[in-house]
Amino acid sequence: MGVEGGMKCVKFLLFFFNFIFWLCGIALIVVGVLVQVGLHKTLMMKNASASGAPIVLIAVGVVIFFIAFFGCCGAWKENHCMVATFAVLLVLVILVEIAAVIVGYVFRNKLSGVVQDSLEDMISDYQNGTAEFRKSFDKLQEDLKCCGVNGSSDWRDFRSDEKSVPDSCCVKVTLNCGVGTMTDAAKVHQEGCHDAVVAYLKKNILWVIVAAIVIAVLQIMGIVFACLLMRGIRSGYEVM
């Protein structure tokens, strides 16, 4: 009777953890979409590698969403085949996540180059870009309190006088405040946006790592509970 009660507890724990997985899947999809929109509408990243992280997040989120749903059904119906399939799929997801972490670790050294190229493209396209494009870059410079890629001098071709910058570079943003004030540290931010963007991205990567560790722990616990439940079902115990 003790084993029966234990298997019943395992069953509901597996169902509970799968519900958490399901929520994690939805969260990853939402985060992936927000990151993709942020990179391509706010930062206007053109480098294809910049889309890698959000696409992986969305893909993993969709997979976890369906695996969790599958696991919930298997646990609730006490179906040995469904629970076994859930456990195998979860192991495969963990292996994919490990591979993604390795790729991310390798890619970290390319982050600076991606940001550099993207910001340079944004500056060269600023004059002929749409109003939305210019507004996005202006917001970036205002929020991060920076100017240009590596410094305000990156805007030397902004106007014919080679001494003007967009108003968003100004310490205090007002109309035409950037005219002729490129090297005036009292009026224009002299620091470039490259270091600020890289620092911002690295800071947020820490939160991604924490989330990944939490999800990985939940997944491993899910596999353990699935194995225990499979053993109980196969042994013929009634867990209801």
CATH topology of domain 112-194: Cd81 Antigen, Extracellular Domain; Chain: A (1.10.1450)
Q: pLDDT value at position 189?
A: 95
Confirm if 195 and 41 have CB atoms less than 8 A apart.
Answer: no
Angle between helices 52-77 and 80-107 (to 10 degrees): 160
Give the highest mean pLDDT range of 35-44, 122-131, 143-152. Answer: 143-152
What digits encode the pLDDT tens for the residues 97-111? 777 777 767 776 777
Tokens of residue 9, six digits: 């507890």
Instruction: Tell me whether residue 132 is exposed, middle or buried, using C-beta atoms within 10 angstroms of its C-beta: 0 to 12, 13 to 18, 19 or more.
Output: exposed
Q: Where are the domains of the chain?
A: 2-109+202-234, 112-194
Q: pTM to 2 decimals?
A: 0.60
Q: pLDDT value at position 2?
A: 37
